């Protein structure tokens, strides 16, 4: 809203992406859907040793019960233990993400923070994670990838079912079936 009325926002994703001077651990960019429009949002995680008998689990902009479930999947299927850690997860800019396609980005941000190792620059992620450790497809995957490429992202981790049939100019796509594969990919970076 301006003094002359409503004005369109050319790149709404810029509101939800932090501008870090250097790569930081615990940060992962995801592509969510806001109505029919793909929107890039930074997911931040902070994992720290807990001093309490019951570690804290806190989310802002994401579903808190889903975080507990994702941590259990991470432990059971990828061997990453956070049971003695406080885990805080935030969707930058105050955006609320209700879709499960944020799952993979949340898990990668958590592991990045836990290991204090930044994810690759210009990486974008999306995908639902099931209780059996499978990575499930997100609706409108091709549109999400095209939006990420348009905004300069050069690498994507997506569910295998969302892998493009034809390459998308400017973005390398890594398509995975399972959370274990995502953890292997992290170790290779």
DSSP strand pairing (85-91 vs 57-60): parallel
Query: What pLDDT does residue 81 have?
Result: 95
Q: Which CATH architecture has domain 25-188?
A: 2-Layer Sandwich (3.30)
**pLDDT tens-digit readout, 131-147:** 999 999 999 999 999 99
Kindly list the domain boundaries of the chain, sorted by start residue. 25-188
How far apart are the C-alpha atoms of 56 and 77, rounded to whole Å? 22
What pLDDT does residue 15 have? 46
Task: Write the DSSP string, 95-113.
Answer: ----SGGGHHHHHHHHHHH
pLDDT tens digits, residue range 87-104?
999 999 989 999 999 999
Cα–Cα distance, 179 to 134 (Å, whole number): 6
Residue (of 164, 103, 90) closest to 136 by Cα position? 103
For 116-129, the pLDDT digits (tens) are: 999 999 999 999 99
Whose structure tokens read 């592509």? 31
pLDDT band for position 107 (cuts 50, 70, 90): very high
Burial class (CB in 10 A: 0-12, 13-18, 19+), 23: middle
């Amino acid at each position: 809203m301006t003094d002359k009325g409503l004005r369109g926002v050319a790149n709404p994703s810029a509101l939800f992406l932090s501008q870090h001077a250097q790569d930081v651990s615990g940060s992962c960019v995801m592509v969510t859907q806001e109505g029919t429009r793909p929107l890039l949002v930074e997911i931040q995680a902070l994992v720290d040793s807990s001093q309490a008998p019951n570690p804290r689990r806190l989310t802002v902009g994401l579903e808190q019960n889903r975080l507990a479930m994702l941590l259990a999947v991470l432990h059971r299927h990828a061997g990453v233990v956070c049971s003695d850690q406080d885990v805080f997860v935030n969707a930058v800019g105050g955006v609320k993400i209700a879709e499960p396609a944020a799952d993979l980005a949340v898990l990668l941000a958590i592991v990045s923070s836990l290991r204090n190792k930044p994810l690759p620059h210009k990486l974008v992620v999306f995908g639902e994670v099931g209780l059996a450790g499978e990575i499930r497809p997100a609706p409108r995957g091709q549109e999400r990838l095209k939006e990420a490429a348009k905004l300069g992202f050069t690498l994507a981790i997506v569910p295998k079912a969302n892998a493009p049939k034809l390459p998308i100019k400017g973005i390398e796509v890594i398509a995975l079936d399972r959370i274990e594969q995502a953890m292997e990919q992290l170790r290779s970076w």
